[in-house]
Structure 1
Amino acid sequence: MPISIRLPEEIEQRLTALAEQTGRTKTFYIREAVLEYLEDLEDIYLAEKRLADIKAGKSRTYTLEEVEKRLGLED
């Protein structure tokens, strides 16, 4: 799926230089960057959403003891 992005000129220049020096495309490096950091971004934003839900009373937390009991892992 094609996607267009606008990058600051400095980043565009760095990306162009990297592509030229390595013989790879700018698209290759953009794809690599997205793949490398997407999981981290998902973790961050989903954790922030979960925290907001807990603070708003829309979700709750569980103690380790509650989880162990529910999963039958009690000592």
Structure 2
Amino acid sequence: MLALRLPAEIEERLDALAKAMGRSKSYYAREAILLHLEDLEDIYLAEQRLIDHREGRGETVSMEEMRQRVGLED
């Protein structure tokens, strides 16, 4: 279960959408979360990898080596 407070303007927009489309506000809130959750996870992972790289952890490879690894050799 999740409860959240939204700014009045967002709440009004969500309410109007739900009424216009005949769906619940919860439906549209859930859809928005599902659509953006993967992007947020990717951002977090990229930030962690950048921190690791800056601190000398993790592997780095040249573009040429990466092309070979994925079979994109010229």
What TM-score do the two structures reach when normalised by structure 2?
0.80
Moved more, 29-38 or 60-69: 60-69
Give aligned-pair identity as a percent: 57
Structure 1: gaps of 5 or more residues: none
**Number of positions where the alignment pairs a residue of Structure 1 with one of Structure 2:** 74
Question: How large is the RMSD of aligned CA atoms in angstroms?
Answer: 2.1
Superposed displacement of residue 7, structure 1: 1.0
User: Could you report, residue by residue, the CA deviation over 1:32-75 in whole angstroms, capped at 9, with x for unpaired residues?
Assistant: 10111111111111101101110011223122444566789878
Question: What CA distance in whole angstroms lies between the structure 1 residues aligned with 2:19 and 2:69?
Answer: 56
Name the residue aligned to 2:33.
Answer: 34
Moved more, 7-16 or 56-65: 56-65
Name the amino acid aligned to 1:21: A
What TM-score do the two structures reach when normalised by structure 1?
0.79
